[in-house]
Structure formats: structure tokens, C-alpha cells
Amino acid sequence: MIKKYLLTISVFLTGTLIASAQETHAPPQPPPSMFETAPELTFVAEDVAGSGQDYDIAFSTPRAGCKQLLDKAERLYREAVRLYEEGKTGRAKECFNTAIETLQHADNDAHVYYQMKSEMDNLFRGLRWLVPEHTGADNSFENQEYTIPMAVENKLVEKYMTIFSHGKPSITIRRALAVSGKYRKMILTILNEYDLPRELVYLPIIESLYNVNDCSSKGAVGLWQLMPERARALGLKVNYWIDERKDPEKSTIAAARYLKYLHIMFDDWHLALAAYNRGEFGLVRDIEAARAVTINQISNRKATPDETEYFVPQFIACTLICDEAFSSGNAPALEEPETFDEVILNDIVDIGIIATCAGTNSWRIRQLNPALKSWCTPPNYPGFKLRIPRGTKKKFLSALAAVPDRNPSPGYIKYVVGKGERVNDIAKKFQTSVWSIKKANRLVNIKNIKTGETLMVRPGKDYFTR
């Protein structure tokens, strides 16, 4: 009876939950796990046949063999969760199956499972919530289910499926998919919070190839390629000091809010995506002029500029190809997310000082904080969250507290060019180099300086020792 009961659970877990997980590829919160909530003591019962009395239940220590099997099953379960979150669904399914099979051989007493009645109820409640009614549908690539329609008979989709599957475009997409591992879990979490389709995790591949520093010819920046005005409207700071379009988490929240708004506005995911590229008001003008309401009509009637016409088919093709890579176990190894400590700064701090206090260099600080544009943290930004290398927070705060001037002068002085003076003469006067003056003043041609012009000059060390 016990094995039959366990087999039922096995069928549910391996035949429905895992099938559903593979169809969505968005790692859901696992249902309540018997491994996490099982009591540590086993229960045994003695029944006097025909006595008509209830069982007498007594505590007993777990049998050694049973305990070892439970430990093994738990290890397999943990490994399956890890593999699934890395996108390795095929290997994850094997570990889930093996974990269930191992439990079947543990041969626990029935009272163990009865005492876990509430946990089992939660398990089945979770399964009924996660598993769609058509659990009998196969889990092949062709039968994947999407919130955003993918089965589109569109020549452009077929065209980009072919292009993205071969040669350099294929290599480029696989490289971007690997990089997406740094942000995948964060993005999927935010998409879930905003009740958005998990397929949108692939949108940054089309937008930026998952490059936080990517900048388009039109000025769109970051993973999600947001324009400055749109980003500000969505609550991001974009100014001389900081550009939060380059902050992966903040820009993802902004993009999620925008996509949610676009879907509400158009009530169609293809149109919402087209509007994300074109702008909602531009798309409204286009589709009204052409009376186009579907992706096919937009393409056939040339309702939008080429970039927008191609955008949705490119996204569909990319999503299908990336999902197929995960389904077949052919996906590239995903990069690990950045690990860091976070500190709150209320004052302006020079990035060089930040790097010194954290025991690293300015390049690493800028890598962890790609939104920073200037030499220091942004002014008028109380509560600014700064990322520093993991494990350095205590050292950093101690070292920073001992710094008297956190935004020191770089040592430049203003110098007014005299009549007939050249850059060489000024460099010699201040014991510095021509290159230093040229760089500080962004001079294209050092011969073009004029009398009365003001230059920024940083004197060399020897200048102060004369």
C-alpha cells in the first residue's frame, strides 16, 4: 500500500509537475517539500488483530538503511532544483525521478506519511494549481504553451528561424543566452511579480544581446533599450551623474511596468511588443492608417517601419530557438549571477576612494555599478545603493569612516593662456605633460589654443617641490 501511495506521488511529480515546468521554463517556487518538513522521528504501530482497538503509536529511531535512502533522495532533490534553476531541465527531470524512486525503496512505516498529512495535502494542492487540465498533452517542442502566441504563419518568422539557427547569428544568440544567466533568475522573478509572460526573458537578446552598456543610434540604452524620456517617465534617473537604464534590476522593473501598460492598452501581445519598439503613439498612427490589427496585416500592409515590422518575428524566432535549446539539453552553460555586498551612501563619494576602501579598483566598482557615469556617486541621491565586491562590506565601511574628504579635488588649476603661449610652454611651466593637458581639456589640435583661453592644468609633483 505504501509503495502504491508513493508511486502515485511519483506519477504526479514526474508526469505532471515536471512536464509543466519544462513547458514554462520559468522556475516556479517548488511546492511544499516533504524533504523540508518531514519529522525527524519515525512512527511504528502495533496492531492486535481483531482487537477492535485503535493503533498504539510509539516513537522509534529511524532504521539506518531508511535514513541513508532519505538522505540520498534529499540530495537528489536539491540537485534537481539546482539544475532546473540553471535551465538544465533534462538532467533536472532525471534527478527528480531518481529521488522519487529512492523514496519508494525507503520502506517507511505508514504512520510516517500519515503524520505528514498536512504536507501531503499542500503537495497535491500545489500540483492541482500548477498542472493544467490537459496533463496528457505531450511535452514536445511543437506543443509548447506560451502566453504570447508563437504559432504564427508568417514568412518573417520562418526567415528569422533559419537565420538565427545558422552561422554567426546562431553563435551570437547562444553567446547572449549564456550571458543572460547573470540576470535570468532576477528577470523571471520580476516578470512573475508583474504577471507577465516568462517568454519576455528573451526580449533583451533581441534588444541588446544582454549588454547593459549597449546604446543604439537613437539613444536607447541598457538591457531593455529604453529611451531617456521613457525611462524618466518610468521612474529611472537619467542625468549627468547616473543612468539607471544600465542598472539591470531597476531597468527590468521599468521595462516590466511599460510592457504591462502596453498590453493593457492594446490587449494583444504582438501589438504590445511592436509598440515597445515603435512607441505606443507611433504604432497607433501606423495601424490606424493601414487598418492593420494583426502581425500578418502589419507585415503585409507595410504598416510600420521595417525595424518594427521585423521586431516581433525576430522575438518569436529567438524565443522558439532558445526554448528548443533548453528542451533538447543543447543550451549553452549559463553564466553565474554577480555576487556582491550592498551599502547605503547618503554622501558623495569619489569612485577612486570607494575602490581603495573596498580593496579593489575603479574598473571593478564601475562593473558592479554600471549606472554610474561620473567620477563619484550621484549628488542629491540619499540612500544610494552601492554594490561592492562580496565579503568587503565590513572592511569598506570601516575604511570609509576614516576618510576625512570623500570627494577630494583632483588637483587641477585654471590657467589663462598668455599671448604667444603654446601647450608645450604651459606643460613645461607646470612640470606636466602635453598629453595630460590635451586630455584634461579634450583638445583635438594643441595648435589651436587661443590667447585668453582658460585651460585646466594639473601640475606635476615636481612643480610643488621647486
Clarify whether residues 97 and 167 are in a common domain.
no
Whether residue 457 is contained in a domain is answered as yes
**Residue 154's pLDDT band (cuts 50, 70, 90):** confident
Q: How far apart are CA 201 and CA 293, in angstroms?
A: 25
Question: What's the whole-number mean pLDDT along residues 252-262?
Answer: 97
Residue (of 443, 403, 404, 408) closest to 423 by Cα position: 443
Give the chain's largest Cα–Cα span. Answer: 119
Clarify whether residues 172 and 316 are in a common domain.
yes
> Residue 234 belongs to a domain with what CATH number?
1.10.530.10
- For 369, the 3-state DSSP assignment is coil
Could you say which of 377, 401, 425 is where a domain stops?
401
* H/E element, 366: helix 362-368
Whether residue 175 is contained in a domain is answered as yes
Specify the pLDDT at position 387.
Answer: 97
Neighbours of 282 (CB within 10 A): 15
Of all residues in the chain, the percent with pLDDT exceeding 90 is 58
Clarify whether residues 321 and 375 are in a common domain.
no
Residue 45, pLDDT > 60, answer no
Clarify whether residues 394 and 452 are in a common domain.
no
What are the tens digits of pLDDT across the range 428-455?
A: 998 899 999 999 899 999 988 999 999 9
Clarify whether residues 123 and 221 are in a common domain.
no
Clarify whether residues 243 and 131 are in a common domain.
no
Clarify whether residues 78 and 175 are in a common domain.
no
Clarify whether residues 352 and 444 are in a common domain.
no
Whether residue 406 is contained in a domain is answered as no
Residue 32, pLDDT > 90, answer no
Could you say which of 349, 370, 401 is where a domain stops?
401
- How far apart, in Å, are the Cα atoms of 361 and each of 352, 369, 386, 439? 7, 13, 15, 21
Q: How far apart are CA 307 and CA 57, in angstroms?
A: 72
Task: Name the more confident of 66 and 55.
Answer: 66
Assigned C-alpha cell, 163: 537565420
Clarify whether residues 235 and 295 are in a common domain.
yes
Whether residue 101 is contained in a domain is answered as yes
- 70-79, 343-352, 403-412: which is most confident: 343-352
Residue 354, pLDDT > 60, answer yes
Whether residue 456 is contained in a domain is answered as yes
Catalytic residue ranges: 207
Residues spanned by the domain of 50 = 2-139
Clarify whether residues 58 and 171 are in a common domain.
no
Question: What's the whole-number mean pLDDT along residues 314-342?
Answer: 94
What are the tens digits of pLDDT across the range 155-189?
A: 899 999 999 999 999 999 999 999 999 999 999 99
> Residue 379 belongs to a domain with what CATH number?
3.10.350
Assigned C-alpha cell, 178: 549564456
What are the tens digits of pLDDT across the range 228-256?
A: 999 999 999 999 999 999 999 999 999 99
Clarify whether residues 218 and 170 are in a common domain.
yes
Whether residue 216 is contained in a domain is answered as yes
Specify the pLDDT at position 123.
Answer: 67
Specify the pLDDT at position 200.
Answer: 97
Whether this model's pTM surpasses 0.75: no
Clarify whether residues 184 and 82 are in a common domain.
no
Q: How far apart are CA 98 and CA 77, in angstroms?
A: 9
Residue (of 36, 21, 35, 14) closest to 130 by Cα position: 21
Whether residue 332 is contained in a domain is answered as no
Number of domains in the chain: 4
In this structure, are residues 223 and 248 in contact, taking their beta carbons and an 8 Å threshold? yes
> Residue 425 belongs to a domain with what CATH number?
3.10.350.10
Residue 345, pLDDT > 50, answer yes
**Residue 276's pLDDT band (cuts 50, 70, 90):** very high
Residue 321, pLDDT > 60, answer yes
What are the tens digits of pLDDT across the range 355-395?
A: 999 999 999 999 999 999 998 999 999 999 999 999 999 99
**Residue 136's pLDDT band (cuts 50, 70, 90):** very low
Specify the pLDDT at position 413.
Answer: 83
Assigned C-alpha cell, 32: 511544499
Mean pLDDT of the chain: 81
Whether residue 146 is contained in a domain is answered as no
Cell 540520498 found at = 72
Could you say which of 267, 298, 327 is where a domain stops?
327
Q: Which of 84-93, 123-132, 251-260, 360-369 has the lowest mean pLDDT?
A: 123-132
